[in-house]
Amino acid sequence: MPTEIDSLVRVRRALLSVSDPRGLASLARVLRQFDVELVATEGTRRHLTAESIPSRAAEELTGIGTWFGGRLKTLHPGLLGGILAPRTPAGDRELEERHLLPIDLVAVNFYPFARRVRPESPAAEIAENIDVGGVSLVRAAAKNFESVVVASDPDDYPALEEEVAREHGSVSAATRRSLAARTFLRTERYDRLIGAALRGPGTAGGSPFPATLEWAQSDLPLRYGENPHQRAAVYVPVDPTLTALAPPSLEVLQGGGLSYTNLLDLDTALSAVAEFPEPAAAVVKHATPSGVACGATIREAIAQAVETDPVARYGCALAVNRPLEADDLEPLHGIFVDLLSAPSVTDGARAAAARRSKLKLVQVAVPDVAATGWEAKSAVGRLLLQETDRRRLRPEELRCVTTRTASDEELDTLAFAWRVVRHAKSNAIVLAQDRHTVGIGSGQPTRVKAVELAVEVAGPRAPGSVLASDAFFPFADGVEVAGRAGVRAILQPGGSLRDAEVIAAADRAGIAMYFTGWRVFRH
């Protein structure tokens, strides 16, 4: 048996059996360079043959072929014995006595259970998508990590290929142990997915929320938490019935590891740009927008968004809702952007971003605002779960309560500002002109302070702007500040005990004011 000192295991025979063929041909070619015999199950062998890679049929080691419509084909001593046998003189003798061949590498992944099974899936469909053989093979290989290499996911292949090539067909003890650990975490998650599906969604009383919620640690690393001295980790839900919580794929194309606050800022920026069907950009600092704009192009939207608050934009996160092109980065010249996100990034944009050495470039899909979403926070040692606020403002919900009414252009800008203010921290105020913000005041303990901050940020751009407030004005003072700044129209929920005083202040200032009847707090 290899020791830590003599840690390299030479791979001479590999078992390949995959549902997800990504990267398999590349791994197989690297193994073949070192005369590794490839043993493959039927479907995997077809894939290898199509890639002109020779392999040996797994049935030659088992002698059973496929039983029960495919339910039983790999659960056989011909494979499991070759994987589990200890690499000792006694183990070698027993392998020979039983006419078994040792297997040094196992590249196996599972049926895509989470992708195929839905909350409404019938029991028979759930059962058919439970992988038994694949899980057993990788668990066996992971158990025998001192002598066997296990690759249970295509993401494992690139680093493994590099090491096999570097070590002339061998794999180190550290890598074998690391891959075994990753494999057991995957099988644990897979079992939890199955258990959750069989248990079913919901609780007594018809609640839309799950009776239990299980999370598994993600492979996405975080450099640190809110502060560098705090450790942090990312978790994802393992319940396949919670598709509303399923995270989109996220790829860091450039820059160092993400931090806890990077993800919080990114979430807000993505949610903000998802509000708009046209090209949009959102600048976020400390998990609240500091500038949002729509434009005819992404470049135009970025230029408008970063102009809202030239101070707050320093070190910001910025998201757009269209593919990022090379010239879209030109409005950012001289501006320090910490993180830039787009649903896709062209080669030209990547080259332009590469010239900004401190920029983190992230590719991630924009959320679907039409889909049900849930969001989670922690408080008092407890997990809080709520529906994401997807409610849309309908024109018929607007109730004019002042003498003056807004123009069509002002109404359109009010609707834009309302979509933005729901993503700012409460108390939140947004001032907007046309389809871009000119001032945002958020996270204030009083509403009048939020108005004062938004007006201060807007400066000379405040006259002629419109204002959206995430909740009602409890006093007339906030409206009076807006009136002195030249605000022309206000959109707010209404419902204050002093609504009459607030309306009177708006009439004195010549402001058109509309009530929505519902608020958009965000804490």
Mind telling me the catalytic residues? 143, 286
> Residue 119: what are its φ and ψ, rounded to 5°?
-55, -30
Cα–Cα distances in angstroms (integers) from residue 371 to residues 152, 255, 389, in the given order: 32, 31, 11
Residue 206: predicted pLDDT: 47
Alpha carbons 293 and 322: distance in angstroms, whole number: 13
Query: End-to-end alpha-carbon separation of the chain, Å?
Result: 57
DSSP 439-500: EEE-S-SSHHHHHHHHHHHHGGG-TT-EEEESS--SSSHHHHHHHHHT--EEEE----TTHH
- Computed over every residue of the chain, the mean pLDDT equals 90
Residue 203 pLDDT > 70: no
Residue 443: predicted pLDDT: 94
pTM of the model: 0.68
Residue 243: predicted pLDDT: 62
Q: Is 342 helix (H, G, I), strand (E, B) or coil?
A: strand
DSSP 85-108: S-SSHHHHHHHHHTT-----EEEE
Alpha carbons 272 and 266: distance in angstroms, whole number: 10
Cβ proximity of 291 and 309 under 8 Å = yes
Q: 6 or 27, which is more confident?
A: 27
Cβ proximity of 37 and 16 under 8 Å = no
What sign results for the dihedral spanned by CA atoms 125, 126, 127, 130? positive
**How many beta carbons lie within 10 A of that of residue 522, not counting itself?**
18
Q: 455 or 78, which is more confident?
A: 455
Q: Which residues pair with 215 in a beta bridge?
A: 237
Cα–Cα distances in angstroms (integers) from residue 419 to residues 126, 211, 289, 457, 465, in the given order: 40, 32, 12, 19, 16
Listed residue (392, 411, 440) closest to 277, CA to CA: 392
pLDDT in tens, 167-186: 999 999 999 999 999 999 88
The percent of residues in the chain predicted with pLDDT above 90, rounded, is 68
Residue 78: predicted pLDDT: 84
pLDDT in tens, 340-388: 999 999 999 999 999 998 999 999 999 888 877 888 888 998 888 888 8
Kindly state the tokens that stand for 102. 């040792």
**How many beta carbons lie within 10 A of that of residue 179, not counting itself?**
25
Domains of the chain: 9-199 (3.40.50.1380), 229-238+250-364 (3.40.140.20), 395-515 (3.40.140.20)
> In 204-358, which ranges are E strands?
215-217, 235-237, 250-254, 280-285, 288-294, 316-320, 337-342
